[in-house]
Amino acid sequence: MILNITDIINSILQAVVFVILPNYCVKDRYKSKKGRSILAVSSVWLGLQIVMKFMGNSSISIIMSHLVPFVIVLMFYRRDKISVTISYSILYLVGGLSALISSKLYWAYIQPMLPKEYIELGVVVFIYGINYILFLLILMNKKIFYKLYRTIKSRNISIIFLVLLTVFLDLLLSFDKIVNWSDDPIYRGYVFAIIVLTFAGATLYFASIEKRSREIKKLNDSLEERIKELNKIKHDYGAQISYLYGLHLMKRYERAGELLKDIINGHNSIDTAIEVSNNSDSVIAIITKGIRQTGIKVILDENADLNDIEMAEFELQKVLSNIISNAVTAMNGQGILAIRTFEKFNDIVICIQNNGPMIEDEVIDKIFQSGFSTKDNSNKEHGFGLAIVKETIEKCKGKISVTSDIEKTEFIITIPRKDK
């Protein structure tokens, strides 16, 4: 008798929670007024009573006690199905897990210690009682529940995944009855069919998730490559602007105009040779002219004609600008920057030295890697300059190396001469 009364109270409380909380979570324009909410609660309670009347305490009744209230609530709030599905699934998971844990603990540890006449009372106190407290706490803290609902919804957790979790919980709650064969054979058949369909659905779902994950990874990889390309272009244009500024300072306006025209026309490289006739007007002189650090002394010792190298003008200024810019940054506004050029058989060698801080061996090993930087690189905007330098030089069949000790850091660039 006491269990029957407790069951009725439990179903009333479930009906109230299964209606009030989804109503609290749906969009304002879909919320039900008091009369409609009472009708919804009554419908859910009646549905639960019908399930218990015709299916008793079988495994299929556990599943139907999940589905029938859900369908009824969904009918009342059908214009906001997503909110109803998420909020109802959260409630069912919380209530179902509470019932599963409390019943397992009761029958395993508490019931064996109780006299026979107190077993039913123990069920009421330790299983139903905990459920009552849990549902009352949820009703009293609707705002906390709403925050949980909003958090799950904002994280884009799949609704299908939530529903599958609730079905899996049903199977856990039905497990004892299935294993012990205490069910009607027809009910067992239904449950096994649901198990098969659930696992088939889960397999298809996770297969589609894996496929989407591969597609997203492929897209991310493609985007990463695009970002690297854009950062390289950004670096290139920064070097080109620096070079044009150097031409401006040297009052070589005609040449600056020609190069600007090439940039506007979309030419990535300039095929014309460097137009230098003396060291004071060389590419190196133009680049170093733009150094505004008054504490840095620049020494130029040019003994090679850079017209003779297998590299276009903008390519050369891009290489030199990157290395010189890094050197100036490392020197922190004070020191000596020495640049020397000379001929070596069929090659022209450019040496760039600075007396800034020593570069550690582990940094030198990675210095030409794309994306590597000793600066804060959380936005992945740094670490492309020297990678571009190496790529550009090797494209012209040249070589670059770097050495560093406590006295100096030196970059040595070797570029083949043009074939005559």
CATH number of the domain within which 260 lies: 3.30.565.10
DSSP letter assigned to residue 360: P
- Does any domain span residue 229? no
pLDDT band at 268; cut points 50, 70, 90: very low
pLDDT the model gives residue 269: 42
Neighbours of 123 (CB within 10 A): 21
Mean pLDDT of the region 158-169: 79
Domain endpoint, select from 167, 183, 199: 183
- Token pair of 245 as six digits: 């500024």
- Does any domain span residue 213? no
**Number of domains observed in the structure of the chain:** 2
Together in a domain, 38 and 122:
yes
Together in a domain, 283 and 393:
yes
**What is the C-alpha radius of gyration for the chain, rounded to an integer number of angstroms?**
38
Residue with tokens 């803290």: 141
pLDDT band at 394; cut points 50, 70, 90: very high
pLDDT the model gives residue 273: 29
pLDDT band at 250; cut points 50, 70, 90: low
Per-residue pLDDT tens digits for 188-209: 666 667 667 766 766 776 667 6
How far CA 285 is from CA of 274, 275, 288, 290, 408, in Å, comes to 12, 13, 5, 9, 21
- Does any domain span residue 218? no
Per-residue pLDDT tens digits for 106-138: 988 998 888 888 888 899 999 899 989 999 999
CA angle 79, 81, 84 (to 5 degrees): 115
Per-residue pLDDT tens digits for 305-347: 888 888 887 788 888 988 988 888 888 878 888 888 988 888 8
Lowest mean pLDDT among 141-150, 173-182, 211-220, 290-299: 173-182
Q: Is the pLDDT of residue 224 over 80?
A: no
Together in a domain, 250 and 323:
yes
Together in a domain, 144 and 9:
yes
Mean pLDDT of the region 414-420: 82
Together in a domain, 379 and 263:
yes
| SS3 state of residue 374 | coil
pLDDT band at 275; cut points 50, 70, 90: very low
Together in a domain, 150 and 285:
no
Q: Is the pLDDT of residue 158 over 50?
A: yes
pLDDT the model gives residue 284: 84
- Does any domain span residue 33? yes
Lowest mean pLDDT among 5-9, 219-223, 339-343, 347-351: 219-223
The distance from CA 377 to its chain's CA centroid, rounded to whole angstroms, is: 17
Residue with tokens 């899996």: 168
Together in a domain, 81 and 170:
yes
How far CA 180 is from CA of 7, 104, 194, 245, in Å, comes to 23, 15, 18, 86
**In the beta sheet, which residues pair with residue 348?**
343, 415
Together in a domain, 163 and 275:
no
pLDDT band at 272; cut points 50, 70, 90: very low
Higher-confidence position of 243 and 308:
308
Q: Please, what's the largest Cα pairwise distance for the chain?
A: 112
Per-residue pLDDT tens digits for 59-78: 778 888 888 999 999 999 98
Of all residues in the chain, the percent with pLDDT exceeding 90 is: 23
Global pTM exceeds 0.85? no
- Does any domain span residue 189? no
The phi and psi torsions of 33 (rounded to 5 degrees) equal: -80, 175
Together in a domain, 243 and 176:
no
Domain that holds residue 304: 236-416
Together in a domain, 280 and 404:
yes
- Does any domain span residue 194? no
Together in a domain, 131 and 262:
no
- Does any domain span residue 204? no
Domain endpoint, select from 152, 183, 214: 183
Q: Is the pLDDT of residue 24 over 80?
A: yes
Q: Which ranges constitute the DSSP H helices of 126-184?
A: 129-140, 142-154, 159-179
pLDDT band at 22; cut points 50, 70, 90: very high
pLDDT band at 276; cut points 50, 70, 90: very low
Domain endpoint, select from 120, 153, 183: 183
| One-letter amino acid of 294 | T
- Does any domain span residue 177? yes
Q: Is the pLDDT of residue 28 over 80?
A: yes
pLDDT band at 400; cut points 50, 70, 90: very high
Mean pLDDT of the region 21-36: 91
Is there a contact between 24 and 73 (Cβ–Cβ < 8 Å)?
Answer: no
Together in a domain, 148 and 54:
yes
Q: Cβ neighbours of residue 191 under 8 Å, at least 6 residues apart?
A: 59, 60, 63, 171, 174, 178, 183
